[in-house]
Chains A and B, each alone.
Chain A
Amino acid sequence: MNAIPAVNPESANRKYIIRTVLFMGGYIAANLAALSGAFDDITPRGALAFALVVSAPILGHIWAFLAWIRESDEFVRGIATKRFVMAGGITLAVSSVWGLLEIYAKTPHVSAALVVPLFWLAFGLVSPFIRSSH
């Protein structure tokens, strides 16, 4: 049996906070620039590039969260993973049901960009109920 290197929970938390602030700062700055009209005269190709640029911090934050899980201790890793999986399941269920409602029942269209906030809302809702790694 090989010894598993001990983790540094404080370092993992600190890195996650810094990464989140940086990614969300970029996300907010890009959206504020768009809302202020900085990209109103953008070409279609430019709009595509801008949408991908705005998406990058979202992908970055997901990476930061998964990295935090990997760098945390085994208990935090266990409950965070359970919460992540449960929130993912809820998000899949809600978004697929809503999508089918849109197709067959003509319910109002909701942007797919709201899937990420829905996921974190689900994560927040399930967290108080998942407090054990069992």
Chain B
Amino acid sequence: MKNRLKALRAERDWTQEDLGKRVGVSRQAINALETEKHDPSLDLAYRIATQFGLTVEQVFVNPHGS
């Protein structure tokens, strides 16, 4: 699933490890999300969006259109 994780992380100067710790997953999981090797569960998508202070749709591109 396409997303803005890498850019949002960079804006905050967070490493993958930092974001992983904030949302309770491994660095590998964050890397897999950024490289589209993993689609997040709804729960994880909400946790990540909350960390960035954004909505899920502002972080992850809706694959089914707008």
Considering the complex, which residues of chain B in the window 15-60 have a beta carbon less than 8 Å from any beta carbon of chain A?
20, 23-26, 28-29, 32-33, 37-44, 47
Q: How far is the CA of A6 from the CA of B19 in the complex (A)?
A: 13
Q: Size of chain A's interface in residues, with CB distance under 8 A?
A: 18
Query: Could you say which residues of chain A place their CB within 8 Å of the CB of B24?
Result: 5-8, 73
User: How many B residues are at the interface, by size bracket?
Assistant: 10 to 19
The 10 closest A-B pairs by CB, nearest first: A6-B24, A75-B29, A9-B26, A73-B25, A132-B37, A4-B43, A133-B38, A75-B38, A75-B32, A73-B29
Where the two chains meet, the residues of A that have a C-beta atom closer than 8 Å to any C-beta of B are 1, 3-9, 72-76, 78, 131-134
Where the two chains meet, the residues of B that have a C-beta atom closer than 8 Å to any C-beta of A are 20, 23-26, 28-29, 32-33, 37-44, 47
